Amino acid sequence: MQKIGMGQILLILCCICYLVWWYRGFRPDVKVRRTGGINGVLLLVTAVLGISGVVLSLSPVLEMTAAKLNPVYIAVGGILGYLLLLWITRVVFGRVVTSELLLIVGWTVLEVVVINRLNAAQMLSDPSFFAMGIVIAAAFAISMVLYVAYYRMEEWHAFYTAMVPLLTEAATMTALVILLYRSFNL
């Protein structure tokens, strides 16, 4: 459980580093290299934190009960969901496809897998599982609405709006970490 909690903390730190990188490199009034110098270091740190966070978040747990959701269905649903959202955002909304769509869907699938496994390991109660499911779904919905709206906004509004999904995802993972650590008095 501690490894999963640490993985979530690393992903929260990943979001924070990504926010700093975004702020430094994408402000409309700033003309800097997004991948050179300190921005390159921030991007590298973001990637290392993200990968480490995912690996630790997927640490093995001893499942005491059957999982509420079949992990295969979660994975297949994530892949099919991504392909469907790719088509909808591109064809229906005319949105330029960017890596953020993959990150939004990937994060959502990861978090559903994490809470599903924690619940099966009896580390996350049923009410907490369902509450976290709702919070994850809300963060996903917010991210998708803002992803579609991004290129339709004025430059400064788009800049700040692009930060919101990182904040909602970090807040979601913070809520999960707090639930875990309170449940086990760590």
Mean pLDDT of 103-121: 97
Give the three-class secondary structure for 39.
Answer: helix
**Domain boundaries along the sequence of the chain:** 2-183
Q: Torsion angle of alpha carbons 70, 79, 180, 136, nearest 10°?
A: -110
112 phi/psi in degrees, rounded to 5:
-65, -40
Closest by Cα among 127, 110, 130, 128 to 59: 110
Residue-wise pLDDT for 29-80, tens only, equals 877 666 678 888 999 999 999 999 999 999 999 989 999 999 999 999 999 9
Give the three-class secondary structure for 134.
Answer: helix
Tokens (6 digits) for 115: 């809470």
